C-alpha cells in the first residue's frame, strides 16, 4: 500500500492531537447535556471511534449511511440515505461526525433532513474540510483540518473501498487513481 502513496498530508500524530482537541472542545460544550453523536458511514468510523475515546462526558452514538460518490473520486450530487438512524433525535443535542466536507451538497441535504426531525441542537464535526470545492455553505462547528482540493485517503477515507485502514491522510499516486490499481 505504501507504494501507492504519493504524499502523506497528515501524520498519525497530527491527527491524534487534533482529534484530542476536538474531543475536549465537545466535552466542554456539552458538559451536563445529553449528547448524541451521529457517525456517517463508512468514512467517519475511525474518526468517530477515536473521538469517543477522548470525549469526557456521557455520549450515545448512532449511524447513518449516505451515498453520493459510489466508486468515483468526486460527488455526483445525488444523495441517497442507505441507512437511517435507529432512534428519534427530537429534542436531543446532535453532533454529526463526518470524515470530509467537500462540495457541501451531501452534508447540506443531510442537515436539512435531520433538522426536520426537530433536534434540540444540531452541529457538524468534520475531520477534513475542502473549502475550495464548496458549492453549498455549511457551518462546521468542530473542524479538524482544512486541506487543498486533492483527493485523499486513509484514516477511514477510501478509494473504491481501499485504503481506509491507513493511519494517516495521504494522496495516492496518479497512476493508482487513473488505473484503479490497488496494491
What positions carry a catalytic annotation? Answer: 102
Query: Of 74, 79, 63, 62, nearest to 103 (Cα)?
Result: 74
The answer to whether 154 touches 163, Cβ cutoff 8 Å, is yes
Residue 101 carries which DSSP code? E
Neighbouring C-alpha atoms within 13 Å toward the C-beta of 65? 6
Contact 107, 139 (CB under 8 A): no
Cis status, amide bond into 42, omega within 30 of 0: yes
Calpha distance 98→43 (Å, rounded): 7
Q: What residue spans of the chain are helical by DSSP H?
A: 12-29, 45-54, 105-115, 174-179
| Cell triple for 141 | 462547528
Do residues 162 and 178 lie in contact, with contact meaning Cβ atoms separated by under 8 Å? no
Cell of 145: 483540518
Amino acid at each position: 500500500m505504501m507504494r501507492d502513496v504519493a504524499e502523506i498530508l497528515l501524520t498519525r500524530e497530527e491527527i491524534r492531537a487534533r482529534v484530542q482537541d476536538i474531543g475536549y472542545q465537545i466535552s466542554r460544550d456539552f458538559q451536563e447535556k445529553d449528547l448524541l453523536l451521529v457517525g456517517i458511514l463508512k468514512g467517519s468510523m475511525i474518526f468517530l471511534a477515536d473521538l469517543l475515546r477522548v470525549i469526557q462526558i456521557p455520549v450515545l452514538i448512532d449511524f447513518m449511511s449516505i451515498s453520493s460518490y459510489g466508486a468515483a473520486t468526486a460527488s455526483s450530487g445525488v444523495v441517497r440515505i442507505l441507512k437511517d438512524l435507529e432512534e428519534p433525535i427530537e429534542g436531543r443535542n446532535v453532533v454529526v461526525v463526518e470524515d470530509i466536507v467537500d462540495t457541501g451538497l451531501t452534508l447540506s441535504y443531510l442537515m436539512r433532513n435531520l433538522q426536520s426531525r426537530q433536534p434540540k441542537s444540531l452541529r457538524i464535526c468534520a475531520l477534513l474540510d475542502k473549502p475550495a470545492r464548496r458549492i453549498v455553505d455549511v457551518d462546521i462547528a468542530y473542524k479538524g483540518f482544512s486541506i487543498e482540493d486533492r483527493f485523499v485517503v486513509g484514516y477511514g477515507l477510501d478509494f473504491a473501498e481501499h485504503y481506509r485502514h491507513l493511519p494517516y491522510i495521504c494522496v495516492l499516486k496518479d497512476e493508482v487513481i487513473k488505473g484503479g490499481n490497488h496494491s
